Structure 1
Amino acid sequence: MSRRTLYTALSWLAPLLVLCAWESASRLGLIAQQVMPAPSRVAETAWELARTGELFLHLGASLLRAAAGFVIGGGVGFALGVAVGFSPLAHALLDRSIQMVRAVPFLAILPLVIVWFGVDESGKIFLVSLAVLFPIYINTVLGIRQIDPKLMELAKVTGMEWPAIVRRIVLPGAMPSILTGVRYALAHAWLALVVAETLATTKGIGFLAMDAREFLQTDVILLTIIIYAIIGVAADALARLLETKLLGWHPNFAKGAR
């Protein structure tokens, strides 16, 4: 067994121990079923919801909202980050306003979003887009500004054209920071989605949790929490895979280096 495989196995040890302890405590009666149902009970609930198709209906709705918000917010954040990173004028015009909006809590924006968009899908996607925008914007600006000035001087001395400078120096140099922003943005997207799905809706993992709360279905509430956790881990793994593919040239991101 390689060291990397060993570390991967060890990373799952703590969650498995928690599940075993949780199941044992529930079966021994140390934890009330109404308060914290056993993992086996949560698994049965998941199977029943999957069998009827209800789980996939809600999961699909949440994934579509998250994906749409990520694409829109990520695109806008990247475009703004590139503009501010390259242009002092754009920084003077845009950065302070962006930072002010970033400081506003989501729950404070929620009433205004309802006024603007009502309770349609557009409002939910807007909230996710807004959450995704800021991590990608900040890390794109940071990545561009951390480019080694000597590389830029060398490119100018050798007569490299500006598009080539961006393609061969700026984007590769800023990519580690940009992908870090992507990882943060993926986490923020799900946090925003939880808030967004508290709006009037009939589909989504957030709706499933809110509906279960009304009927005191603790097993369903725990299932939604576990689903969010699994999706978060899967999204982070996807981001790490993207780092490995795009940053294979970088010693800190090369395969086997992490």
Structure 2
Amino acid sequence: MAELTSTRNSYVASRSPSTRISKNVAYRWLSWTIPAIVVLLWETAARFGLIAPQVLPAPSRVFETAVTLARNGDLFVHLGVSLLRAAAGFAIGATIGLALGIAVGFSPLTQALLDRPIQMVRAIPFLAMLPLVIVWFGVGEVAKIFLVALAVFFPIYVNTMLGIRQIDPKLMELAAVIGLNRGAIVRRIIVPGAMPSILTGVRYALAHAWLALVIAETLATTKGIGFLAMDAREFLDTNVIVLTMIIYAVIGVVADALVRVLEARFLSWHANYGTGARK
């Protein structure tokens, strides 16, 4: 009995908030171990000549290039333009995707009218639409923002619709039994229940936004991270090419961290997303 009590106390202690927080901090640091090792191996291989600079420059050389571009202001100009394009496209695509996803998720009639045409457009390869977008909008800023918005729209739409459709019908029956009005049902059941799926859509949409932006910035433009990479390609400047890749990676990590903050804020009630479940 004493051993059983001791085991139970140890288990309870391991489940305490302080223990979970300690583990989460340890896991967070551990998640950066592999990237740090890769960078160290990369730097070592480049310094000892195992990797040619024309193939893959050392991280230190890429950092020096970043410092040079930052000092003359070019890096911030290109980065700022790309962020504005991505933000504008994301705002437009996410707003439309969320609105249509809610409409289709709630209404079978709306689903019958809209879902199949949307799914047909979604099945078209993204690059296949590029010539038509150029015909419609030319190669200016509108075309670039449209491409980003289009890439963002589909993940938000699909995940919002599925999130609403996957809500337990028993919860809806319970809401009707206790007399909740439609507004209260939406606020207290529909939105919280669909939020995990919606935020998953946001995470995918952020990744698609940057992919679309890379393609968009290959059109006739003189500013943006994509243009910086294409211009460096013409001069075989691998330092700048790798730098742009790192910038995209960093922005992706930051964007994903922002989504995690939203998850912690809006899904604190959920066992898999609450503060105690963060890794």
Distance 1:147 1:18 in 2: 42
Partner of 2:274: 254
Partner of 1:157: 177
Kindly report which structure 2 residues correspond to 1:141-220, keeping only aligned pairs within 5 A, or say none. 141-220=161-240
Kindly provide the amino acid, as one letter, of the partner of residue 175 in structure 2.
A
Deviations along 1:154-199, whole A, 9 cap, x unmatched? 2112222111111111111111110111111111110111111111
Structure 2 gap segments, 5+ residues each: 1-20
Partner of 2:69: 49
Kindly provide the amino acid, as one letter, of the partner of residue 72 in structure 1.
I
User: Once superposed, which parts of structure 1, at least 4 consecutive aligned residues long, lie more than 3 Å away?
Assistant: none
Deviations along 1:81-105, whole A, 9 cap, x unmatched? 0010011111111111111111111
Q: TM-score, normalised by structure 2?
A: 0.91
Kindly provide the amino acid, as one letter, of the partner of residue 247 in structure 2.
I
Kindly provide the amino acid, as one letter, of the partner of residue 189 in structure 1.
A
Distance 1:2 1:86 in 2: 42
Deviations along 1:194-230, whole A, 9 cap, x unmatched? 1111110011000000000001100000000000000
Partner of 2:124: 104
Q: More deviation in 202-211 or 153-162?
A: 153-162
Q: How far did 1:148 drift? A: 1.1
Deviations along 1:45-91, whole A, 9 cap, x unmatched? 00000000000000000000111111100000000100100111111
Deviations along 1:116-144, whole A, 9 cap, x unmatched? 11111110000000111111111101110
Query: Secondary structure at the residue paired with 1:2?
Result: helix
1:121 aligned to 141, 145, 150, which one? 141
Are positions 1:25 and 2:45 aligned together?
yes
Kindly provide the amino acid, as one letter, of the partner of residue 132 in structure 1.
V
Distance 1:9 1:168 in 2: 36
Partner of 1:34: 54
Distance 1:20 1:193 in 2: 30
Partner of 1:81: 101
Distance 2:274 2:179 in 1: 31
Query: Secondary structure at the residue paired with 2:277?
Result: coil
Q: How far did 1:3 drift? A: 1.1
Are positions 1:62 and 2:82 aligned together?
yes
Q: More deviation in 157-166 or 195-204?
A: 157-166
| Matched residue count | 258
Distance 1:159 1:31 in 2: 69
Q: TM-score, normalised by structure 1?
A: 0.98
Q: Point out the structure with max Rg over C-alpha.
A: 2
Q: How far did 1:256 drift? A: 2.2
Partner of 1:243: 263
Kindly provide the amino acid, as one letter, of the partner of residue 235 in structure 1.
A
